[in-house]
Amino acid sequence: MTTGSTALNDKQVKTVSLTIDGVKIEAPKGTTVLEAAIKAGIYIPTLCYDEDLKPYGACRLCIVQIEKMRGLPTSCTTEATEGMVVHTESPEVNQSRRITMELIMANHDGDCLTCAKNQNCELQKVARYLGIDEEHFKRLRKRTRTVAIDDSNPAYVRDLNKCILCGRCWRACHEVTGIDAIDVAYRGDMATVAGFGDKPILLSRCETCGECVSRCPTGALTYKDSRMATREVKTTCPYCAVGCQVYLGIRGGEVVSARGDKEGPSNDGHLCVKGRFGVTGFIHSKDRLTTPLIKKNGKFEPTTWDEALDLVASKLKKYKAEEVGVVSSARSTNEANYLMQKFGRAVLKTNNVDHCARL
């Protein structure tokens, strides 16, 4: 009897039971209403929420109605509690969301057809969900201030005319990378995301990791090479031995994009500048060797792997162990580098083992 009571108490401490739109949900204690809804497959529109970042409540689109609670709280900052009853589709909620969305879009560059995020834009998705069209916000007074497009960074473009100040970019720069290259500057209608001194992004502390670009819900931050992939292949980033898991976007037999795998145990979906922007460059480089070469008559000529390996094996036999060195690659995995040093020490009997990483 005591054991059953203890188990029940443990369950009560660790989970809470709430109802969202008539659906009863069990959620871990400390979970927000939005996270509980997402887990249950219930859609609540939001533009500032990111599962890797702390709750922010900036966009005000994820508001819900909670029985016995005043006002319309944001679901991304409201913790789910035992017995809570949540309504996500009440007339008051939808009216507030539509007004908020109209104000966001009134100050947003609406040239969607030529935007790199077209059909992959979260702003479009929310507008479609709320039934917002051009007639809804044509009557509103639009901002006339135009901000110059910043294309100083070699990897991505910043068009702050499309920025909705959701905060995802600078929060990722602060919470994920710890670089703090950008933040919110100025106030009111002049508020904008900027680096130190509001100078071009190339002159900031930005390390071009692309974490901000990958999280931007609109076309404010887009990759310069933004071709849409037709399929993706999961693999390991070849730039170092950390083993970051990535999805490479393929189009017409060519790698056109790279994104982190959120299930990757070593990177949790994050990538550095080399993993996100460097892979496509060297894979299709004209200088990359795609076949072994053997020097014949003073010139390197293509050959087969069997002939190349036989030649190397025959030449290694002529040297003493201390005369041989093994050089491994920083673009190989930990496992491949381990095998290379094992080959040097156990097979060639040499401790002359080095690598190419000179970062």
In a domain, residue 102? The reply is no
For residue 329, give the nearest of 342, 341, 312 by alpha carbon: 341
258-286: burial string, b at 16+ Cβ within 10 Å, e else = bbbbeebeebebbbbebbbbbbbeeeeee
In a domain, residue 97? The reply is no
Give the C-alpha separation, 211 to 172, whole Å.
Answer: 7
| Residue 147 and residue 214 share a domain | yes
| Residue 61 and residue 12 share a domain | yes
Q: Are strands 254-260 and 85-87 parallel, antiparallel or unpaired?
A: unpaired
For the entire predicted model, the pTM comes to 0.80
| Residue 222 and residue 117 share a domain | yes
In a domain, residue 240? The reply is yes
| Residue 195 and residue 237 share a domain | no
Per-residue pLDDT of 83-136, as tens digits, reads 999 999 999 999 999 999 888 887 787 678 888 888 889 999 999 999 887 676
Q: How far apart are the first and last CA of the chain?
A: 62
Give the C-alpha separation, 66 to 59, whole Å.
Answer: 19
CA 203 and chain centroid, separation: 23
| Residue 208 and residue 117 share a domain | yes
In a domain, residue 309? The reply is yes
Per-residue pLDDT of 315-330, as tens digits, reads 988 999 999 999 988 7
The count of domains in the chain is 5
| Residue 303 and residue 239 share a domain | no
| Residue 167 and residue 146 share a domain | yes
| Residue 349 and residue 335 share a domain | yes
In a domain, residue 54? The reply is yes
| Residue 293 and residue 281 share a domain | no
In a domain, residue 21? The reply is yes
DSSP class per residue in 262-325:
TT-TTTTT---HIIIIIHHHHHT-TT---S-EEEETTEEEE--HHHHHHHHHHHHTTS-GGG--
pLDDT for residue 2:
43
Q: Which residues pair with 327 in a beta bridge?
A: 354
Three-state DSSP at 126 gives: helix
Per-residue pLDDT of 149-189, as tens digits, reads 999 999 999 999 999 999 999 999 999 999 999 999 998 88
In a domain, residue 103? The reply is no
pLDDT for residue 242:
83
Look up the CATH number of the domain holding residue 244.
2.20.25.90
Instruction: Judge whether 158 and 149 are in contact, CB under 8 Å.
Output: yes
Domain membership of residue 293 as a residue range: 289-313
In a domain, residue 296? The reply is yes
| Residue 343 and residue 324 share a domain | yes
Look up the CATH number of the domain holding residue 204.
3.30.70.20
| Residue 173 and residue 68 share a domain | no
Q: Rg for the chain (alpha carbons), in Å?
A: 27
